Structure 1
Amino acid sequence: MSGPLEMLVTPQEMGRIDHAAAASGIDSYALMRAAGTAVAARLLARFPHVERVAVLCGPGNNGGDGYVAARACAQAGVPVVVHSLGDPAKLEGDARHAFDDAGMQPQALADYHPQGGDVVVDALFGAGLSRAIEGEAADCIDRIGEAATPVVAIDLPSGVGGDSGAVLGTALQAVETVTFFARKPGHLLMPGRDLCGTLSVVDIGIPARYASLADSRVVENTPALWQHVFPHAQAAGHKFARGHLGVFSGPMSATGAARLSAEAGLTAGAGLVTVASSGQALAVNAAHLTAVMVKRVDTLEDVRDFASDNRMKAFVLGPGFGVGAKVRDYALALRENALVLDADGITAFAEERPALAEAFSAGDTRLVVTPHAGEFARLFPDFVPEEGRSKLDAARLAAAAINAIVVFKGSDTVIAAPDGRAAINTNAPPWLATAGAGDVLSGITGGLLSQSMPAFEAAAAAVWLHGEAARHAGPGMTADDLPQALARVQRDGLFADRRFDGSAGRTS
């Protein structure tokens, strides 16, 4: 499947696509042969001196792919053993055809014990698994893990949920995963993304038009999603044309978070940024800021006056601000404006979510909330990811509940809109998990909102740029390094060379 936006396909949708392709007259067994042969080719390319291939076949079509792969490896002159889960004589359809063509007598799965030099082909369950693995399959997976035997997985490592990326009981760690037609959410959501190893998407002959049978609103977060509305400075423009962002500061002992947000917003392109500070913290903020302005804001009336200036385009509230009625009052006073609500601002509405939802219920989506897992659980306890609900599902439910863009942060940040659009981000390096990084993300988001970028695209772009800046800064970076790294990302031409070709964050 090709195109600038590569959507993600759930296992259920993939089933419909397979069925529709077969119903149209496409030879489904030819597709299986193409799949299994592609797996064998990837294995032999990666392990050209493999001593033995152990193919573990399940009772469905994933197992059928495995029998094809086993035959292809044997034809290449590699020793092959096959172990089956269940009685292969009970296989039906294409899987039975593949078993018959392979001409191999499988041993029981319980009898597989890894040997030195083995490479395992995991053809047990694939993406359609919906319950925890147990019994002999779980025991076999554990033996493979203990032996650290390399695994090439078909579709998804067994034990990884195709919808959620969650581990269902136990799961194999693959060095490579080969999937077909399109990626599933479980390929991008953690821990599934890590368990997949290197991911390859292989074209086995299903026409791209069948993508119309899937929900095209769920994609990976790449620049192809938002580049068409990304703001660029115009030759005849001026600072107010690029937007004015307001960032609310916390008390004197907690001003740093707001300054991080403010600097990030300025770097993201806002023409002006003003830190709204209490009189108590005014001197501290003024002493540390140069290009960012400072304004005294002590009361709710001051907030309303600040927001009434039609040159103010967006606000950031919450980083270092403190939890309580004051932050709720400020947020509700900004209900007509674009607002990024983060950190303390999220926690403050834990018991008052209906008020937040009501305030931003009308009109275009203009509220962006950016919770990490703990904050998400406080604001959306009814949507917390759990068995049967993925992080993707949780974020989409939360977004619809409060008519906001929800940025559910983490190594697999999900950006969700009330209308069901969602994007999963993959380019964040592990060293981005550092104090203050979230404050920078809020500032980038606010800076893009201030330039009138639509809220969903602004949040998605901010998350991607945040990750790219961290990658550019490298290990050992701190949150203070991120705005400067973001400026370098733009100045060094990565905008044209890496972002807008949609390639960053892709797997190979």
Structure 2
Amino acid sequence: MTNAEMAAADGATIKSGAFGGIVLMERAGGAVADAALARFAAAARVHVLCGPGNNGGDGYVAARILAGKGLSVRLYALAPPKPGTDAALAAETWAGPVGGLDAFAPDPADLAIDAVFGAGFSGALPDPVQSALARAVDRRCPVLAVDLPSGVNGDTGQGAGAVACAATVTFYRRKPGHLLYPGRALCGETIVAEIGVRAARPTATFENAPDLWRGALPRPGADTHKYARGAVAVFSGPRHGTGASRLAALAAQRAGAGAVTILGHPNALDIHAAHVTSIMLRAWGDDPMAALGTLKGIGAVVLGPGFGDLPLARSLAAAIVDDKGPALVLDADGITAFADDASGLFDAARVRDEPALVLTPHAGEFARLFPDLAADAAAGKLAMARAAAERAGAVVVLKGPDTVIAAPDGRAAVNANATPALATAGSGDVLAGAVAGLAAQGMPAFEAACAAVWLHGEAGRASGPLAIAEDLIAALPAHLSKLV
């Protein structure tokens, strides 16, 4: 849930009359205390750092409970809670002394609980907070964060001055900041505690996992033939630029497409023929669009990997989208071809009832296609991807260690299973092909993109840290077959 959605859920829960805000705070503080006892039971002392808001209120509750369990607890506050708030009520239940943050002096055998700021904080941390957290790091004292490490924004994952924590306890639902970098790297183990909150409305933000799209996976019947399993066309570039398109074609095939054709530059087909057997080959001749039209039952097209000819890529992409025919996965050169103006492509894509254009940019390509969105870094990756998807009428796969998949209707998924194994030449071509292979079998574009990104991550994990793109292709079927 975003910060606003979580605040609405808290408010709706309280408004329902089931219990008041102080009860939620008691439950949240209890969950923090439980995590401290379960994971840091051997701590010599527990230092609780509290802010003036609700996050600090959770800290006061946790401190009281831990002290009641017989632990040595010391509490430090940035400022007292505002009178009349739930945090002030929680603070009144703490019977011990309250020191300033400057008095915080941990040892490696201790535990620090960071309850200073929560998910809604943005900007630079006050100096006393930065100094206190830095002392915990310098003295190798593990930190347990409440909701999010102080300084990390729940919507964006951004956080100046935040420190890496051993674990983080959040409540009811993760925030995007638990999955987006740098927040993900700072949270440590993320524990989601159930405290009785009930959602005010459904969320449109998800962690990318099979439960999100498994029901849409194609499941061929016993009487299925190769074209019913989905046909994919991959446009290929010149003679010495064929490898990327071949990777995409093989990935589409391994993602389940029954018939995959490389539409190749006429003087490059012999190169392809030396490398592939079950992939069909067709020269595009004088009219690549006409050559595409001669192929049977094409459900998805990949354009861009190793293509080279940017003006031709531009005209082909526009024609495919205008024709309202197969889904189009636009990657690499296909994206760069529209760097100066993509408005016509986007106008055509938005006419479709369901998105049939999938864009798969990395950060640099995204900046070329959406320079104004990329310039607003403070908005965060999730907001950028959402805005781009709405503008383009397309599913946008904004790649990276925390890939975001966004749909024009506002849905978005953050992927969390990527590994450094995916940082290898050709990895993006494999992803583009996998998206097309699933889309060609009738999977909706958003679900196809989410599934391909997750399977791509699993293939990277299975292939090991020294994987190359070909290894990723080979690993796809094992993980896909577990789900169908």
In structure 1, distance between residues paired with 2:208 and 2:478:
21
Amino acid of the structure 2 residue aligned with 1:61: N
In structure 2, distance between residues paired with 1:245 and 1:16:
44
2:96 corresponds in structure 1 to: 104
1:362 corresponds in structure 2 to: 351
1:499 corresponds in structure 2 to: none
2:311 corresponds in structure 1 to: 325
Write out per-residue CA displacement over residues 250-269 of structure 1, whole angstroms, 9 at most, x where no aligned residue: 21111111111110000111
2:432 corresponds in structure 1 to: 442
In structure 1, distance between residues paired with 2:30 and 2:75:
16
Write out per-residue CA displacement over residues 46-95 of structure 1, whole angstroms, 9 at most, x where no aligned residue: 1121111110000001101001111111112111111100245x454221
1:433 corresponds in structure 2 to: 423
2:47 corresponds in structure 1 to: 54
Write out per-residue CA displacement over residues 216-238 of structure 1, whole angstroms, 9 at most, x where no aligned residue: 22111111221222111210010
Whether 1:37 and 2:30 are equivalent positions in the alignment is yes
In structure 1, distance between residues paired with 2:111 and 2:289:
64
In structure 2, distance between residues paired with 1:373 and 1:91:
46
TM-score by length of 1: 0.91
2:246 corresponds in structure 1 to: 259
Conserved 8 A contact 1:58-1:123: yes
Amino acid of the structure 1 residue aligned with 2:50: C
Whether 1:216 and 2:206 are equivalent positions in the alignment is no
Amino acid of the structure 2 residue aligned with 1:317: L
2:265 corresponds in structure 1 to: 278
Alignment of 1:374-453 (within 5 A): 374-384=364-374, 386-453=376-443
In structure 2, distance between residues paired with 1:326 and 1:84:
63
Amino acid of the structure 1 residue aligned with 2:335: I
Conserved 8 A contact 1:159-1:170: yes
Whether 1:139 and 2:131 are equivalent positions in the alignment is yes
Conserved 8 A contact 1:145-1:172: yes
Conserved 8 A contact 1:314-1:338: yes
Tell me the SS of whatever aligns to 2:76: strand
In structure 2, distance between residues paired with 1:334 and 1:244:
15
1:505 corresponds in structure 2 to: none
Aligned in 2, Cα 1:147/1:286: closer, same or farther, shift over 3 Å?
A: same
Alignment of 1:2-81 (within 5 A): 9-25=1-17, 26-81=19-74
Greater Cα shift, 381-390 or 155-164: 381-390
Greater Cα shift, 361-370 or 379-388: 379-388
Conserved 8 A contact 1:307-1:334: no
State, as a whole percentage, how many aligned pairs show the same letter: 49
Conserved 8 A contact 1:177-1:196: yes
Conserved 8 A contact 1:304-1:334: no
Tell me the SS of whatever aligns to 1:179: strand
Aligned in 2, Cα 1:249/1:57: closer, same or farther, shift over 3 Å?
A: same
Conserved 8 A contact 2:60-2:94: yes
Conserved 8 A contact 2:122-2:152: no
Q: Structure 2 stretches of 5 or more lacking a match? A: none
Conserved 8 A contact 2:12-2:199: no
- Equivalent of residue 240 in structure 1, options 227, 231, 246: 227
Amino acid of the structure 2 residue aligned with 1:459: A
Amino acid of the structure 1 residue aligned with 2:310: G
- Equivalent of residue 82 in structure 1, options 61, 75, 88: 75
Q: Aligned-pair distance for 1:307?
A: 3.0
Write out per-residue CA displacement over residues 348-403 of structure 1, whole angstroms, 9 at most, x where no aligned residue: 11102112212323123110000011111111111117454121110010011111
Amino acid of the structure 1 residue aligned with 2:89: H
Write out per-residue CA displacement over residues 118-150 of structure 1, whole angstroms, 9 at most, x where no aligned residue: 211000001110322132112222222333321
Q: Aligned-pair distance for 1:323?
A: 5.1
Tell me the SS of whatever aligns to 1:160: coil
Tell me the SS of whatever aligns to 1:351: coil
Write out per-residue CA displacement over residues 151-203 of structure 1, whole angstroms, 9 at most, x where no aligned residue: 10100010111000111x21021111101111111111111112111111111
TM-score by length of 2: 0.95
In structure 2, distance between residues paired with 1:119 and 1:434:
39
In structure 1, distance between residues paired with 2:169 and 2:40:
15
Q: Structure 1 stretches of 5 or more lacking a match? A: 1-8, 497-508
In structure 2, distance between residues paired with 1:116 and 1:358:
59
1:6 corresponds in structure 2 to: none
Conserved 8 A contact 2:106-2:136: yes
Q: Aligned-pair distance for 1:98?
A: 1.3
Tell me the SS of whatever aligns to 1:274: strand
Q: Aligned-pair distance for 1:310?
A: 5.0
- Equivalent of residue 182 in structure 2, options 187, 191, 196: 191
Q: Aligned-pair distance for 1:277?
A: 0.8
Amino acid of the structure 2 residue aligned with 1:312: I
In structure 2, distance between residues paired with 1:87 and 1:34:
21
